[in-house]
């Protein structure tokens, strides 16, 4: 089995990916400075496995990976500065640091003796500029033209760092696969996302109260993290995945945020009235990936229903966050 390195391995997708690979007896090294995440029970449990190491490193420090071996077969680069607060408060830092993080990972990957794949985690936000022009096909295939919005806008910084990152990865000469996650959710993703945020507010509410929800009519397809990890791993190991850009997500069902809120109220078991609020600024009315190419390359489509996925997510948050 190939040795695996995951940058940003302490984060949401990184930890799930590490567990998935460790369960299949692969040696996995996680690199993370824990600036966003925390050393919680899940990460500590991962560290206890004999085939998993957590390396607390800052990829931006000189030669931060210099003492590691050169026999990694798979490298997943997930490390990035994300979040609306970072984008709005320090867009220059988001642009610069995300590029610098990738440079560090690519330079390390280039030193490997027999690298099978370098996987770069991009984002569905790369489609935002084309969406603004009203010319984005839905469901959205990976070959949809990418349009750059006004670069003076702070919100443009994150998606620009990812578009540039895709280009850097493909021009590196390495065997590269780019993945673009779409609305991936599940246990341990933090609270600044629509599903855990609504779960927390519904959980804390009293029967007969209200659940205030923005962007009620906006529509999304949601992908449970277990399905996303299956896609990402298969893409990394598929011979036809080299040189590909692949959406990671679910093409169906497409549901409104209002329907999601109703499901969450049902899962939490509260009697709540849903109060509509104005749409979030910049939030697209629809987001739905075309999963045809990913299915062709990986032989896999998302399996978990939204209801089962929300229940699984609520069970984890109730046990690990809400009632602790």
**Residue 29 included in any domain:** yes
Q: What does the pLDDT read at residue 37?
A: 64
Tell me, letter by letter, the H, E, C secondary structure of 75-139: EEECCCCCCHHHHHHCHHHHHHHHHHHHHHHHHHHHCCCCCCEEEEECCHHHHHHHHHCCCCCCC
User: How does pLDDT run across 169-225, given as a tens digit for each residue?
Assistant: 999 999 999 999 999 999 999 998 999 999 999 999 999 999 999 999 999 999 999
Tell me, letter by letter, the H, E, C secondary structure of 286-298: EECECCHHHHHHH
**Residue 113 included in any domain:** yes
State pTM to two decimals.
Answer: 0.96
**Residue 103 included in any domain:** yes
Q: What does the pLDDT read at residue 86?
A: 83
User: 108 is written with which tokens?
Assistant: 């390390």
Q: Give the distance from CA 132 to its chain's centroid.
A: 22
**Residue 68 included in any domain:** yes
User: How does pLDDT run across 227-255, given as a tens digit for each residue?
Assistant: 999 999 999 999 999 999 999 999 999 99
Q: Give the distance from CA 12 to its chain's centroid.
A: 7
Residue 19 is part of a domain; what is its CATH number?
Answer: 3.40.50.720
Q: What range does the domain containing 136 cover?
A: 3-181
User: How does pLDDT run across 286-305, given as a tens digit for each residue?
Assistant: 999 999 999 999 999 999 99
**Residue 192 included in any domain:** no
Q: What does the pLDDT read at residue 1?
A: 56
Domains in the chain: how many in total?
Answer: 1
**Residue 252 included in any domain:** no
């Amino acid at each position: 089995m190939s040795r695996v390195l995951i940058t940003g391995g302490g984060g949401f997708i990184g930890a799930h990916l590490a567990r998935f690979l460790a369960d299949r007896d692969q040696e996995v090294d996680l690199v993370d400075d824990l600036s966003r995440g925390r050393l919680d029970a899940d990460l500590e449990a991962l560290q206890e496995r004999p085939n998993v190491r957590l390396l607390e490193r800052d990829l931006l420090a000189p030669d931060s990976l210099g003492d590691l071996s050169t026999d990694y077969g798979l490298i997943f680069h997930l490390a990035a500065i994300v979040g609306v607060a970072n984008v709005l408060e320090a867009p220059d830092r988001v642009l610069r640091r995300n590029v610098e993080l990738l440079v560090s990972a690519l330079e390390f990957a280039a030193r490997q003796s027999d690298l099978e794949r370098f996987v770069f985690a991009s984002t569905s936000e790369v489609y935002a500029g084309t969406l603004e022009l009203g010319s984005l096909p839905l469901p959205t295939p990976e070959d949809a033209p990418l349009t750059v919005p006004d670069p003076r806008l702070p919100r443009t910084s994150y998606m620009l760092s990812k578009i540039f990152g895709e280009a850097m990865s493909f021009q590196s000469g390495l065997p590269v696969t780019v993945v673009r996650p779409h609305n991936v959710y599940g246990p341990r993703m933090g609270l600044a996302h629509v599903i855990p945020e609504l779960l927390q507010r519904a959980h804390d509410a009293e029967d007969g109260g209200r659940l205030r929800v923005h962007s009620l009519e906006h529509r999304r397809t949601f992908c449970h993290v277990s399905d996303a990890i299956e896609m990402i791993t298969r893409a990394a190991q598929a011979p036809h995945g080299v040189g590909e850009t692949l959406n990671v997500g679910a093409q169906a069902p497409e549901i409104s945020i209002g329907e999601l809120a109703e499901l969450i109220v049902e899962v939490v078991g509260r009697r709540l009235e849903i109060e509509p609020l104005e749409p979030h600024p910049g939030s697209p009315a629809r987001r739905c990936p075309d999963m045809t190419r990913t299915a062709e390359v990986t032989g896999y489509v998302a399996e978990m229903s939204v209801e089962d996925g929300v229940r699984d997510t609520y069970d984890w948050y109730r046990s690990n966050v809400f009632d602790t």
